[in-house]
């Protein structure tokens, strides 16, 4: 619990810091882009100069896109937990997920019938699932299958979870896996092994933050060379699980 608190405080501090820095950076980059655009209009007809200018514009644009993501991260809104049917939520976004990861990797879903519903911010849960799915894709450069599954906590899971009843939303890949050092640091904000301009190192810390704020957990299991399973454990929406037929709180419906 002390670790979780330290992590939360770290995220908070980083959120404030990145918010300020990203804002200033964004303004600077906008000025750079504006000047480059003016220069482009007056550039003599020289392909080499043109290429240099294009490089500069692309770099500044990538920087701007990155600061936008940092701002979005810093502005994390208050969560609005609601009763969510995970199979429903996943069904509603499989097309989006498949488009986000491209055609080389296939998505399979596995949900048992009657999986209890959970309490979570539905929109943030979708973003978390997108992050996990993109990570899974990145771990499988040769292609493969990503399995998105749901299950109720069993006796074997209790040790890793706080008291209460939980449902797990997991994303499994058969990719590179992580070595022990990477696994230990993977959830840290800004930790990335993907190289400059590719990874931000914010994906898993976002998912971890959402799980923790939802009173759940993010657990990572990984074997080098075999693959990774990211498990987002979320608290069961008890009332609706026990009295399925009674009118419960409003349930978010998703188009199929």
Site for ligand ADP in 217-256 (CB under 6 A): 228
Q: Which residues pair with 105 in a beta bridge?
A: 144
Check binding of 209 to ligand ADP (CB under 6 A). Answer: no
Taking CB under 6 A as the criterion, the residue among 81, 175, 209, 216 binding ligand ADP is: 175
Site for ligand ADP in 108-137 (CB under 6 A): 131, 135-136
- Closest contact distance (angstroms) between CB of 222 and ligand ADP is 6
| Closer residue to ligand ADP in complex, CB, 199/248 | 199
Q: Whole-angstrom Cα distance, residue 194 to residue 234?
A: 28
Check binding of 176 to ligand ADP (CB under 6 A). Answer: yes
Residues 6+ apart with CB under 8 A from 249: 82, 83, 237, 239, 240
How far CA 29 is from CA of 23, 50, 61, 62, in Å, comes to: 10, 19, 8, 10
Taking CB under 6 A as the criterion, the residue among 133, 170, 205, 214 binding ligand ADP is: 205
Size of the site for ligand ADP (CB under 6 A): 23
Point out the residue whose Cβ comes nearest to ligand ADP. 203
Check binding of 201 to ligand ADP (CB under 6 A). Answer: yes
Taking CB under 6 A as the criterion, the residue among 61, 109, 147, 182 binding ligand ADP is: 182
| Interface with ligand ADP (CB under 6 A) | 131, 135-136, 139, 173, 175-178, 182, 186, 191-194, 199-205, 228
């Amino acid at each position: 619990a002390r670790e979780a608190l330290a992590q939360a405080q770290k995220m908070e501090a980083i959120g404030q810091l990145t918010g300020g820095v990203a804002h200033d950076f964004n303004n600077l980059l906008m000025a750079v882009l504006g000047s480059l655009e003016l220069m482009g209009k007056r550039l003599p007809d020289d392909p080499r100069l043109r290429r240099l200018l294009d490089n500069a514009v692309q770099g500044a644009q990538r920087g701007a896109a990155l600061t936008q993501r940092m701002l979005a991260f810093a502005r994390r809104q208050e969560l609005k937990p609601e009763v969510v049917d995970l199979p429903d939520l996943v069904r509603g976004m499989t097309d989006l997920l498949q488009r986000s990861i491209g055609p080389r990797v296939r998505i399979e879903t596995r949900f048992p019938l009657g999986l209890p519903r959970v309490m979570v911010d539905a929109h943030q849960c979708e973003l978390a699932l997108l992050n996990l799915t993109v990570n899974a894709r990145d771990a499988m450069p040769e292609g493969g299958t990503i399995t998105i599954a749901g299950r109720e906590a069993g006796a074997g899971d209790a040790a890793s979870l706080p008291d209460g009843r939980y449902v797990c939303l997991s994303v499994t890949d058969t990719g590179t896996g992580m070595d022990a050092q990477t696994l230990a640091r993977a959830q840290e904000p800004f930790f990335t092994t993907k190289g400059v301009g590719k990874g931000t190192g914010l994906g898993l810390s976002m998912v971890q933050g959402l799980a923790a704020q939802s009173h759940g957990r993010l657990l990572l299991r990984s074997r080098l060379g075999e693959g990774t399973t990211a498990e987002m454990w979320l608290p069961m929406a008890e009332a609706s699980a026990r009295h399925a037929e009674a009118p419960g709180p409003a349930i978010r419906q998703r188009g199929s």
